[in-house]
Structure 1
């Protein structure tokens, strides 16, 4: 029996530790964005990811300050060493529905957008099933929105469609591997 085990051990070509991950962006939570991401290893160098973030909160009812959004960012990562360890380069798509008001200026932006982005990050193992990760990137985002004054918020005075180059995937993640 031990001879068969030894032969099987010596003839095996690959062994994967973790196939799936669940993570949350700590920076996103601090800013009020409820978020979760689920990942799956495709092979030693590639993984698929599906992050979702949601912010239903109005920060100030008196001046209608809010950063409400529902955003999905499906993507793929190429790991320079192996999945869920050390550096990676990512590509992701963006689909977002948002209602943002009184954050950068006195206007409210109510609309949706689509985009794509590239990112770079690094994952640090903390324990056999826990990782810490940072990620930063840049994306092209096509925004389609109505613009209105925050105090009246029902009066739309402009409709815009623009492409923006935006910071993307600014995250500090806590990851559970299983």
Structure 2
């Protein structure tokens, strides 16, 4: 019975992959990507993009960290970011404008984020306290995709928007002693920065 279920699942996945293959060799209907900026910070990330029309595409990306360090530092988070894109020339090449949503959770403590203090005073607290909560928001952006070859693109994007977060504050990375509960913040500023290495199918 278990073998039959695995066989059916394999058939279903294969059928879906076949449907994603472009009908013409020069069409660019689907892409997989990774954000090199996140890769530099050891943030696990992956993205995918599908063409919806000659000038429209849907991009979705996700990233996560699950790091706990021996010196009491903690950086755990996940985020998902779906995005609609309008391409000025054709999809997956050249200039584009985008609108995205984002959401996720975080558990971060005893990490020095003073370099982000220009985005708001809240980042200074991460050095001495652990913050655990969720966030959601939306933004608009601009980007450009350089076609490097038949299957490879390099893509850059910057976006700004609004994020709402609600969180609890703890004394240390491992303990459960709460300092404050149910805090909320409203953030306006950069919501996306990406330099994506893209493989186009």
Give the shorter-chain TM-score range: 0.7 to 0.9
Cα deviation, residue 177, structure 1: 0.6
Change (3 A) 1:141 1:125: same
Instruction: Kindly tell me the number of residue pairs found equivalent between the two proteins.
Output: 162
Give the conservation status (yes or no) of the 8 Å contact 2:167–2:184: yes
RMSD: 1.6
Residue equivalent to 1:124: 146
Which contiguous aligned blocks of 4+ residues in structure 1 show a shift greater than 3 angstroms? none
Q: Does 1:44 align with 2:66?
A: no
Residue equivalent to 1:113: 135
Change (3 A) 1:42 1:157: same
Q: Does 1:85 align with 2:93?
A: yes
How high is the TM-score relative to the length of structure 1?
0.85
Which is further off, 69-78 or 101-110? 101-110
Q: Does 1:68 align with 2:76?
A: yes
Cα deviation, residue 150, structure 1: 2.5
How high is the TM-score relative to the length of structure 2?
0.76
Q: Which runs of 5 or more residues in structure 2 are unaligned?
A: 1-24, 114-126
Bigger proportion of residues as helix: 2
Bigger proportion of residues as strand: 1
Secondary structure of the 2:39 match is helix
Cα deviation, residue 54, structure 1: 1.1
Give the conservation status (yes or no) of the 8 Å contact 1:32–1:57: no
Give the conservation status (yes or no) of the 8 Å contact 2:162–2:191: no
Cα deviation, residue 67, structure 1: 2.5
Q: Does 1:34 align with 2:44?
A: yes
Instruction: Tell me the alpha carbon deviations over residues 20-68 of structure 1, each in whole angstroms, 9 at most, x when there is no partner.
Output: 010000110111210001110011111001101111112x3222x2321
The correspondence of residues 92-111 of structure 1 with structure 2, limited to 5 A, is 92-103=100-111, 104=113, 105-111=127-133
Q: Which runs of 5 or more residues in structure 1 are unaligned?
A: 1-14
Secondary structure of the 1:56 match is strand
Change (3 A) 1:16 1:117: farther
